[in-house]
Amino acid sequence: MPVPPRPPQRPHDLVHHGHRRVDPYYWLGETDPDVLEHLEAENAYLHEVLAPLAPLAGTLYDEIRARVDETDYTVPVRHGDWWYFERTREGLDYAITCRLAARGDDPTPPVVDPTSPAPDEQVVLDENDDARGHDFFSVGVFEVSPDDRWVAVGVDVEGDERHTLTFRPLAGQTPLTDEIHDVYYGFAWANDARHVWYTRVDDSMRPWQVWRHAISTPPEHDVLVYQEDDAQFTVSVARSRDGDVIMMHVSSSTTSEWWFVPANDATAAPRVLERRRHGIDYGVEHYRDPSGHEWWLTVTNENATDFRLLARRIHETTWRELIGERPGNRLDSVDAFEGFLALSERHDASAALRVIPLPDGDLAFDEDLLARSYLVDGDAAPSTVTLSTNLEYATDYLRISLTSLVTPRQSADVRVSTGEVLVRHQLRVHGYDRDRYVTGRLWIRASDGELIPVSLVTRADQATLNERGELVPTRDAPLLLYGYGSYEIAIDPSFSSPRLSLLERGVTYAIAHVRGGGEKGRAWYEMGRLSQKPTTFSDFVRVGRALVEQGWTTPARLAARGASAGGLLMGAAMNLDPDLWRAVIAEVPFVDALTTMLDSSLPLTIGEWEEWGDPASSATTYRTMRSYSPYDNVRATNDDGSSRRYPRLLATGGLHDSRVGYWEPAKWVLALRDANPDNVALLKTDMGAGHGGPSGRYDSWRDEAQIIAFLLDALAPPVARSAS
């Protein structure tokens, strides 16, 4: 084996609540000329170690690319007098956004030729032109004006999520010189198509300000509309679908506040809808019925753990209940259209979509809206059914997305009045035979009795249904277990074309929907945050052990993968049971959690206190985080004095990552090498990207091919070279 980098240890004392920690690699998070040199040395070491796998990675890359229609399109979406869609072209990394003029009120999307533009097709934005000359490129703002004459575009060429905003003509106007820097996500046009709102971040990358800009005026004349001084809260801005109001959402992890400005009165001062109350989380939608009456709709957890739907006239103050809480069915959000409501919810631990037709447009509080509603089903169990892009308010069609672990993503329209689902486009995957695979849902009992959902897909010759209709293995196989479990984010089952390279070689893929995520509602989240955060990690380990006990795999053939907070999960699981895993992939992992959460100057730290706690002010929180922070719990020996052996590790980081500092995986890998000098612990730092990794699709496929090659080599060397 090549010799890994061995940078110097420079012990740094960290003392809190009377407890002393010594961090030998603290300097990697400081401004030091040796840092870049070390990261480059790590990349060179990784390249040398993985060099024997380069032919396999090349084969995998070719497989990934061959399955995809590189020249393709998305289904057009109606916005005003135009249909908007995206093209991708073979050899180009980025999308090309185009539009076609709409003809009349026909709701059927125009047919797009993937290889040849229509004569009247207009290019709105070719991202490949903007990306030329940059190692990284991402569009964070893209909004067409209400009159369809301008498009606002915010681009990031560093990976630090700070965008440069420009306004581009779509109707032959003279180009504008307006250029606004350091713009974050979130944007809205006023109805006059002259004023816009955007957000900015503070020094810790917290979106805290909403600004208003008038087209064709210098940015230094922009007006600060709202500033949030509480460091635990962030702000965002968007325009309502009906075009009546501009909404500003002020939120922490558990508390919400909404402000609004009439879209027809751009210079009006924002007004608050409902003042924040700690622990009250609510989402807002504006609804204008056919009679012209305006309503506020809100999905709130006030007196409802899994949320309920309320409504009130816009000038009233009393909310009335439309749909009460249904324990176990988490109501995520409401989207209002002129003749119906669309509810995004959690149903049987899966993402589901409920449609409620409103034939007369009236919100009747004495009517059972659930009785007139219907669920849109997927074609497998478990499935993921979600809203797609819907820009029109007055429509009888709802654009949705359907997928599962065996269903390539479908873009479909629901005819609301009948419930008919019209599939407009399905991702074509060359060489894919759905009958070769089976998917299902397992339920693993945790030590406290809670049932942990697990979504699984495997080759059909490796599993079968028993007499109770449950999926059971017919033989053990290599298995990759994915997990996240934070921020009430649900990792719903979806199709992945690159994943087929694992499945074809006999590797089973599973998602552990552990506590801390949102799969089973707000209570599932609450059971995996703050002082109960260790439950997330024990859930994941319990799932891994159960998969071994049930015969799905063995520790010698079990790998784990997670990213960001899921990377923290990977590190904690390695410490809890290092012998359970053969290999681990940890992407941009939050593994130096305690030190990060003690430093309020770092991006996002203060805003994360509601998720992890504040270890600086609470000795109890400090002890809890110290008990699981992966970097602080790397050990060379087990409790019985035997040598500890960690699994093979591939960790990644991004030099410009504003969410998880590159130094976190860098320090962690060194600590693991110190504990296990003979084990493989690899670090790959993307020197030109941030939290999301490389931006171009071809570079992303190469990265994924390398990760799959690493996994195959670790899990199943005899079958790693070719698909069976």
Percent of the chain past pLDDT 90, that is, above it, reads 91
- On the CB side of 373, CA atoms within 13 Å amount to 20
pLDDT at residue 723, as a whole number:
44
How far is 522 from 87, CA to CA, in rounded Å? 38
Q: Would you call 67 helix, strand, or coil by DSSP?
A: helix
Tell me if 530 is assigned to some domain: yes
How far is 254 from 256, CA to CA, in rounded Å? 7
The string of DSSP letters for 167-234 reads: EEESSSPPPP--EEEEE-S-EEE-TTSSEEEEEEE-TTS-EEEEEEEETTS-GGG-EEEEE---TT-E
- Residues facing 346 on adjacent strands: 351
> Other C-beta atoms within 10 Å of 625: how many?
24
- Entry pTM: 0.96
Question: What does the mean pLDDT of the chain come to?
Answer: 95
The total domain count for the chain is 1
Element (H, E) at 583: strand 583-587
Percent of the chain past pLDDT 70, that is, above it, reads 99
Tens digit of pLDDT for each residue in 197-209?
999 999 989 999 9
Tell me if 161 is assigned to some domain: no
How far is 81 from 104, CA to CA, in rounded Å? 9
Catalytically annotated residues: 564, 657, 691
pLDDT at residue 717, as a whole number:
57
Tell me if 456 is assigned to some domain: yes
Q: Check the CA dihedral 256-625-520-400 and report its sign.
A: positive
Element (H, E) at 622: helix 619-628
How far is 360 from 599, CA to CA, in rounded Å? 55
User: In the sheet that 150-156 helps form, which strands lie side by side, from edge to edge?
Assistant: 138-144, 150-156, 163-169, 179-183
Checking if the pLDDT of 1 tops 90, the result is no
Within its chain, how far is the Cα of 418 from the centroid? 32
Query: What's the 3-state SS for 647-682?
Result: CEEEEEEECCCCCCCCHHHHHHHHHHHHHCCCCCEE
Letter string b/e over residues 539-568, b meaning 16 or more CB atoms within 10 A of that residue's CB = bbbbbbebbbeeebbeeebbbbbbbbbbbb
pLDDT at residue 404, as a whole number:
98
pLDDT at residue 147, as a whole number:
95
Tens digit of pLDDT for each residue in 53-78?
999 999 999 999 999 999 999 999 99
Tell me if 321 is assigned to some domain: no
Tell me if 240 is assigned to some domain: no
Tell me if 564 is assigned to some domain: yes
Element (H, E) at 341: strand 340-347
Checking if the pLDDT of 225 tops 90, the result is yes
How far is 452 from 513, CA to CA, in rounded Å? 6
The string of DSSP letters for 386-421 reads: EE-----SS-SEEEEEEEESSS--EEEEEETTTTEE
Give the pLDDT band (50/70/90) at residue 722: very low
Tell me if 35 is assigned to some domain: yes
Tens digit of pLDDT for each residue in 242-289?
999 999 999 999 999 999 999 999 999 999 999 999 999 999 999 998
Residue 469 DSSP code = S
Checking if the pLDDT of 474 tops 60, the result is yes
Give the pLDDT band (50/70/90) at residue 79: very high
How far is 330 from 487, CA to CA, in rounded Å? 15
Tens digit of pLDDT for each residue in 518-575?
999 999 999 999 999 999 999 999 999 999 999 999 999 999 999 999 999 999 999 9
Residue 579 sits in a domain whose CATH number is 3.40.50.1820
Q: Which of 12-16, 134-138, 456-460, 598-602 has the lowest mean pLDDT?
A: 598-602
> Other C-beta atoms within 10 Å of 248: how many?
25
Q: Which residues contact 565 (CB under 8 A, 6 or more apart)?
A: 484, 485, 486, 487, 590
Residue 587 and residue 563 in contact, taking contact as beta carbons nearer than 8 Å: yes
pLDDT at residue 31, as a whole number:
85
pLDDT at residue 362, as a whole number:
78
Q: Which residues contact 61 (CB under 8 A, 6 or more apart)?
A: 701, 702, 705
Q: Which domain holds residue 625?
A: 12-66+433-719
Tell me if 307 is assigned to some domain: no
Q: Which two tokens stand for residue 3?
A: 């010799």
Checking if the pLDDT of 361 tops 60, the result is yes
